[in-house]
Amino acid sequence: MAMVKERSSADRYKAGVIPYKTMGYWEPDYKPKDTDVITMFRITPQPGVDHEEAAAAVAGESSTATWTVVWTDRLTNCDVYRAKAYKSEPVPNTGPGTKTEQQYFAYIAYDLDLFEGGSIANLTASIIGNVFGFKAVKALRLEDMRIPVAYLKTFQGPATGIVVERERLDKFGRPLLGATTKPKLGLSGRNYGRVVYEALKGGLDFVKDDENINSQPFMHWRDRFLYCMEAVNRASAASGEVKGHYLNVTAGTMEDMYERAEFAKSLGSVIIMTDLVIGYTAIQSMAKWARKNDMILHLHRAGNSTYSRQKNHGMNFRVICKWMRMAGVDHIHAGTVVGKLEGDPLMIKGFYDTLRDTHTPQNLETGLFFEQNWASLKKVMPVASGGIHAGQMHQLIHYLGEDVVLQFGGGTIGHPMGIQAGAVANRVALEAMIMARNEGRDYLREGPEILNKAARWCAPLKSALEVWKDITFNYESTDTADFVPTATGSV
């Protein structure tokens, strides 16, 4: 890497436009401090723009720089506030001879004092505030961040966390089962509650509002809450288990959201939910409310694919996972591997590790570019939802582990023998598979056999396996690992 020519400070602050690289935003010798926030961007420079200059420009635009030199910099201890790009390297399998134009991974370090404690809004306003529209880069993607322990300690983190959620629900050692009420739209409160009751009584732990079930003409939110809680309590009595329904409190204003959350609490709900689209600050507020009110907070990642799906621009979902763990949600949808939505197995493992581990080592294969110490922030329960069914139970447990909510919406409600039967099928498949796993069997390989054996005494499972036996979603993922020798397709 070429060394930057020394400039005197008089030169540096002469009025006019000078390259970012020479303004102090490119420091190849910089060793990031333990307290620095570190980011890694995937940069596609505009033709003719040197990649180190592009990296410096991103560092500059995401910290102190403006397009021209300002003398007022000299009134500040500006060396500290300048973000420092310290490494830029070509992305494997891009550039000449490949289908993709040349991209670079740029590493940038930010001093801790650039950020306000406990504010995702402030962190993101800096890191992704302006820079994505910047002309010097053709495309830009935030791939990963290393959040220093010192900064993590200013965040509440998950209101409840996996450990306490399980203790409250009294459910251990197996994935939790959920379903989204279908059809999404048009059911009256009374009809809606019927679906909830049937699914919970059949054996699911949770039923869920969908992201866009708020308070529409066909069903006012209060009606939904009242009928859902009737269903939850009836199902709890019918089974002797703690049951829940994620009541979606997403609304137009914070005041409305608090009102809905309070009503959910007054009815005895164990869990509420909201959508990613309400914004980071609103999510943090709901997380604080949830902590104060002994409530589990479920988050639907509505909207994320608008910026997380394309590989060259936007941000990777793993960054959203990190921010949401800091912001304080207890559940987040994080992919299924085997279902209908986007998801490469290795990438999804990276998301799940980010949400659940106390410490994630660097792992390029799963897209974890930095070692991350989670500083005792509680663990977030990932949720797998979309196009999954009982016949995939062995694969789901293999890829996703046991600390996950498996949401079988269509796979429960679409069961030919009815909703209760659909729930029974899922629960029997789950318990049989967990038992086999614990017994030390090669359950991934023997999965179909284990399920068929259980289906011999469980008619609902037999019927589920029959109906959905051919359902798989085999598309290439768009967001895949950069560091694996061969691409891993969806399973």
Partner 1 sequence: MMSNHGNRITQGQFSYLPDLTDEQISAQIRYALKNKWALGIEYTDDPHPRNTYWEMFGNPMFDLKDPAGILIEINNCRKTFPNYYIRVTAFDSTAGWETPRMSYIVNRPKKEPGFGVARTEGPGRQISYRVHSYATDKPEGERY
Compute the least distance from the CB of residue 380 to partner 1, in Å: 13
Residue 182 catalytic?
Answer: yes
Give me the amino acid identity at 201. K
Determine which one of 21, 84, 201, 300 is catalytic. Answer: 300
Compute the least distance from the CB of residue 236 to partner 1, in Å: 5
Compute the least distance from the CB of residue 261 to partner 1, in Å: 15
Residue 245 to residue 347: CA distance in whole angstroms: 29
Residue 360 to residue 214: CA distance in whole angstroms: 36
379: which 2 tokens? 């663990």
Compute the least distance from the CB of residue 238 to partner 1, in Å: 5
DSSP state of 207: E
Closest CA to 297 of 383, 357, 230: 383
Compute the least distance from the CB of residue 173 to partner 1, in Å: 4
Residue 238 to residue 129: CA distance in whole angstroms: 51
Compute the least distance from the CB of residue 424 to partner 1, in Å: 5
Q: Which is nearer to partner 1, 163 or 444 (CB)?
A: 163
Residue 366 to residue 345: CA distance in whole angstroms: 9
Judged by the rule CB under 8 A, the positions of this chain that interact with partner 1 are: 163, 166-167, 170, 172-174, 201-203, 222, 226, 229-230, 233-234, 236-242, 266-268, 357-358, 376, 379, 420, 424, 427-428, 431-432, 434-435, 438-440, 454, 457
Residue 331 catalytic?
Answer: no
Residue 104 to residue 40: CA distance in whole angstroms: 10
Q: Which is nearer to partner 1, 306 or 438 (CB)?
A: 438
Determine which one of 182, 313, 340, 462 is catalytic. Answer: 182
Closest CA to 148 of 377, 381, 321: 377
Q: Which is nearer to partner 1, 116 or 230 (CB)?
A: 230
Q: Within its chain, how far is the Cα of 318 from the centroid?
A: 6
Residue 225 to residue 463: CA distance in whole angstroms: 32
Residue 104 to residue 89: CA distance in whole angstroms: 5
200 within 8 A of 207, measured Cβ to Cβ: yes
Closest CA to 129 of 146, 114, 118: 114
Q: Which is nearer to partner 1, 201 or 260 (CB)?
A: 201
Q: Which is nearer to partner 1, 33 or 153 (CB)?
A: 153
Task: List residues bridging with 37 in a β-sheet.
Answer: 110
Q: Which is nearer to partner 1, 70 or 267 (CB)?
A: 267
The residues assigned a catalytic role are 182, 300
